[in-house]
Each structure stands twice: as structure tokens, then as C-alpha cells.
Amino acid sequence: MALSAMTTISAQDAKTPEMSPGELVRVTVANEVAAANHPEILHMFRSHRKTPKGSQTRLYVETKDALAAMLIAINDQPLTAQQQKAETDHLAWLVNTPDQLRKKHAREKEDKERTLRIVKALPDAFRYEYAGTETGAPGLGEAGNPLVKLKFTSNLAYSPPTRVEQVLEGMQGDLLIDTRARRIAKIDGTLFREVTFGWGIIGHLDKGGHFLVKQGDLELGDGAWGITELSLNVTGKILLFKSLNMVSDETLSDFRKMPENLTFAQAVEMLKAEQDRLAHQHSSGPASSGAADRSAEDSAVIQRNCLLTIQEASSMRFRRRRSRRFPVPLPAFSRCLASAPGRLPGDARGPEGSSRPPAG
């Protein structure tokens, strides 16, 4: 889900009046939609995704153009030189092919819109009842905040407006809401019956399918939230004959705030730099891992300051576009990154090959 921006309806300091569980969901969903529609904060993060075929680790950087992503490990082993080249060639192709980058951005926008349709349908698609409380923890709401658990069941009176929301008709499960932040901390749903599309001609999802999404405060000091865990186990058929089998568990971690208006090309340079750092760290062996970690921390500060400096100069150049006082070409950005002893971690390939919904 696109639930990863700052909340815009704060209730942390307010005394919450008693409300029905359905009204609590409605207020929380309004907050989620507001956050998704104002994705002002960009992040770099790491994804580790397991499937029955193995695992893949990727680095991601959110940008104003599209989501930049790079595969960095397969089954917890670093890529070969040939695999690394394939990753960098793919990213270079996107940077140098504006039409493809625009198409990638359009696909991500469509994914985000579909996700928001599901989120917006939550208040009407289900009936809710209180089912206890929990306490927020890292990656699940805001640490220490009270979480209200709601049990949800299908609302028989609900009529999905499109096929996107139709999957909700056969679902039941639990919802965790951070009552101070007014954000969804977890949604855990199971298909209690088969769900068909187009009278079964377009396809169907099998009974027993399950999905789980967790999100929480990223603890970066700015109130930003992000998805931290995704689990999907859904089977079915498409067009009667083609089997559908989506089974994966994904964790998202190591979030870092990025400068505003970061471009896709700049994100690619960051990913390439991180790839080099990881390759050097692997070749140095376990004995130097502590030094490498310290180097990475130092590098993070250097590069973040470097990015902010370049971005500030670029902004000034825009405001004084008739002057050539602040030229900041991409090669200068690359040299700035190369000046650091280590590299910032990131992740890369965009929606292709990743189950992560677009950050909001």
C-alpha cells in the first residue's frame, strides 16, 4: 500500500472521544489517503524478498521521476561481475531513454492509484468490531503508542465499484490502528472463499489466500511512516488456464531520508556507489566489517551533505537562470560521491521485480 508519507491529521495530543470501530477506520483511512497524496519525503531503503525460488536483496531510492532500484544480492550472495553489469546497464538505459522513464513513472502512478482505491474502500467493504489492544514497536506503528485491534468481516451490503476492489468481497481478518498517529499499523487478511472476476472467465483467487502488511514510524525524527513488512500467499487462475501463484515475504529496512527533488539520474549514481562499497566490503572479508560499517556511517554524512550542497546550488542556479555562477552538471555530482570513503546504502529496479507498493 502507498502509506509511507507523513500524516497530515495529527491526533497525538488530542483526547480521542469514544467512537465506533467503523468511524475509527474511516478517520484513519482519511489520514492514510492524505499522507499518500502528499509524498513530500523521499527515502533510500533496503528490501529483502524471499520466494520459494530463493531470495533477492535490492536497494531503492525514491525520486521525483520514478523509483530507482538495484539488485545487490541473490540468496544472500553478492552479484557476479556480469550480473552487476546487467543492473548498471539497465539503469543507464533508463536514464538515457526518457520515454521509458516516463512509462515507468506512469506504471508506478497506476500502481499507487490501485492501492489507494483499496485503502479508500476499507471503511465500507467491511464490518468492524474491537478485539483488544497492543503496543507499538519498531516497524509496527510508533514505538510505545497504543494500538487498537479490530476484527473485520465482509460487509454483504458492499458493492465494489470496479474489479480492483472486488477482492475485498471474500476477505476477513484483523486491523491494527495506532490511535495517536491515526495510522494503520498492520492489516492481516485471509480469503475465506474463492473470489471470481468476470464470472470466472477473467480469473479467480483461491480460498485461503493470505496477505499481511505492516508499517510504522521510520524513526527518522520527521514523523514519516513507511511499510516495513509485506507477506503474500495467493493462488488462482487467470483467463481460466494460466495459473497464478504469488508467494513472497519481504522486509524493508535501513530507511534514510533523501534530499527533495532528487532526480533519477542522481539516484542511479548513489546506487552505483553503494554497489562499489558493498563489493569492496565483501572482498575485504569479515575482519574488516567493523571498519567498513564505520566508514559507511562517515560516508553517509559526507554524501548527504554533498547532495544537499549540490541541490542548493542547483536551486540557486534555477533562480538565477541567466547567470552561469552555479553550474552543477552530473559529473560534478559523481565526483562528489566518489570523494567519500564509503557509500550510502540504497535499492534499485523499480516496480519490476519487486512487490513493494508505491510509496506515498
- State residue 199's pLDDT score: 55
pLDDT tier at 198, thresholds 50, 70, 90:
low
Highest mean pLDDT: which range of 32-41, 265-274, 303-312, 338-347: 265-274
User: Higher confidence at residue 245 or residue 292?
Assistant: 245
Closest CA to 56 of 358, 359, 355: 355
Specify the 3-state DSSP secondary structure of 328. coil
pLDDT for residue 331 is more than 90: no
Residue 128 has pLDDT above 60, yes or no: yes
Query: In the predicted model, what is the mean pLDDT of residues 195-205?
Result: 70
What integer is the mean pLDDT of 123-151?
96
* pLDDT value at residue 346: 36
Looking at residue 14, its pLDDT comes to: 35
| Whether the Cβ atoms of residue 168 and residue 158 lie closer than 8 Å to each other | yes
The dihedral over CA atoms of 164, 32, 191, 57, expressed in degrees to the nearest 10, equals 90
Has residue 71 got a pLDDT over 80?
A: yes
d(CA 178, CA 255): 20
User: Given 3-state DSSP classes, what are the helix, strand and coil percentages for the chain, each rounded to the nearest 5?
Assistant: 35, 30, 30
Please give the average per-residue pLDDT across 246-273, as a whole number.
93
Average pLDDT, the chain: 78
Least confident of 185-194, 207-216, 340-349: 340-349
pLDDT band at 174 (very low <50, low <70, confident <90, very high): very high
Q: Given the C-alpha cell 561481475, which residue does it identify?
A: 81
* C-alpha dist (Å) from residue 287 to 3, 24, 284, 342, 345: 40, 52, 7, 17, 20
Given a cut of 50, whether residue 264 has pLDDT beyond it is yes
User: 37: pLDDT confidence band, cut at 50, 70 and 90?
Assistant: confident
- 281 band by pLDDT with thresholds 50, 70 and 90: confident
Residue 202's pLDDT band (cuts 50, 70, 90): low
Choice between 139 and 357, residue whose per-residue pLDDT is larger? 139
Find the mean pLDDT for residues 65-83.
Answer: 94
Percentage with pLDDT > 70 across the chain:
71
C-alpha cell recorded at residue 165: 476492489
Q: Cell numbers at residue 54, please?
A: 530463493
Dihedral of the alpha carbons of 179, 182, 187, 191, in degrees to the nearest 10: 100
- pLDDT of 197 above 90: no
**For residues 321, 43, 75 and 353, what is the CA-based torsion angle, rounded to 10 degrees?**
-70
Which residue would you say has higher pLDDT here, 237 or 18? Answer: 237
CA separation for the pair 281, 277 (Å, rounded)? 6
Q: What is the 3-state secondary structure (H, E, C) of 137-178?
A: ECCEECCCCEEEEEEEEECCCCCCCCHHHHHHHHEEEEEEEE
Q: H or E segment at 282?
A: helix 264-284
Over 70: is that where the pLDDT of 319 sits?
Answer: no
C-alpha angle with apex 179: 178 to 182, nearest 5 degrees? 75
Is the confidence at residue 212, as pLDDT, over 80?
Answer: yes
CA–CA–CA angle 101, 102, 107 (5° rounding): 95
| pTM of the model as a whole | 0.73
User: Of 216, 119, 129, 131, which is closest to residue 168 (Cα–Cα)?
Assistant: 119
C-alpha cell at 319: 533562480
Q: Is pLDDT above 60 for 345?
A: no
